[in-house]
Amino acid sequence: MTNAFFAYLHFIAIFALFALLSIEHVLFKAPLDLLRARSLMITDIAYGVCASVVLLTGLARVLWFGKGTAYYLGNALFHAKVGLFILAALLSIMPTYVFFNWRNALRAGQVPEPSPRQITLVTWSIRLELLLLLVIPLLATLMARGFGVMG
């Protein structure tokens, strides 16, 4: 039963992660207004929490509630999944940095004004993260069907 619970929690967190990132993509349009800027900060915080839940439940599944550590560590697709997740996490630093830097302006009731360069970088970071998050379940599906076994 615990195995099923952790699998369910892992999947729900993945769905929420994708949904929150999609919300960020929709909200991050110039010109910003105060409500959207605040919503972006809150959404990004929720995204970070969900990413942590995905990571922790995934780790729990690998160590205790999945098919066994040897199964996962002996599969090239698992390594690719983890690598893509890490890459998505690294890409998420840019939007988080930009949104976090808005906190003082928002407290003062001012609308942040990201530069055209920031708009481009954040938009493409989010789009690349979405793409990576679409590929990861494909790798998981292939892995569950026996592909990627090393050796």
Q: Is residue 92 part of a domain?
A: yes
Q: Is residue 61 part of a domain?
A: yes
pLDDT for residue 11 is more than 90: yes
Q: What is the total count of domains within the chain?
A: 1
Q: Is residue 26 part of a domain?
A: yes
Instruction: Output the pLDDT for position 151.
Output: 73
For 122-149, the pLDDT digits (tens) are 999 999 999 999 999 999 999 989 999 9
List 149's β-bridge partners, or say none: 75
Q: Using 50, 70 and 90 to split pLDDT, how confident is the model at 5?
A: very high
Q: Is residue 151 part of a domain?
A: no
- The answer to whether 78 and 72 are in contact (CB under 8 A) is yes
Task: Say how far apart CA 91 and CA 135 lie, in whole Å.
Answer: 15
Instruction: Output the pLDDT for position 119.
Output: 95
The residue segments making up the domain with residue 137 are 2-144
pLDDT for residue 66 is more than 90: no
Average pLDDT for residues 99-108, to the nearest whole number? 95
- The answer to whether 51 and 67 are in contact (CB under 8 A) is no
Backbone φ, ψ for residue 130 (5° rounding): -60, -45
Q: Is residue 42 part of a domain?
A: yes
Q: What mean pLDDT value characterizes the chain?
A: 95
Q: Is residue 149 part of a domain?
A: no
Q: Is residue 121 part of a domain?
A: yes
Q: Is residue 150 part of a domain?
A: no
For 27-54, the pLDDT digits (tens) are 999 899 999 999 999 999 999 999 999 9
Question: Structure tokens of 18?
Answer: 């994708």
Instruction: Output the pLDDT for position 62.
Output: 93
Cβ atoms within 10 Å of 74's Cβ, excluding its own: 14
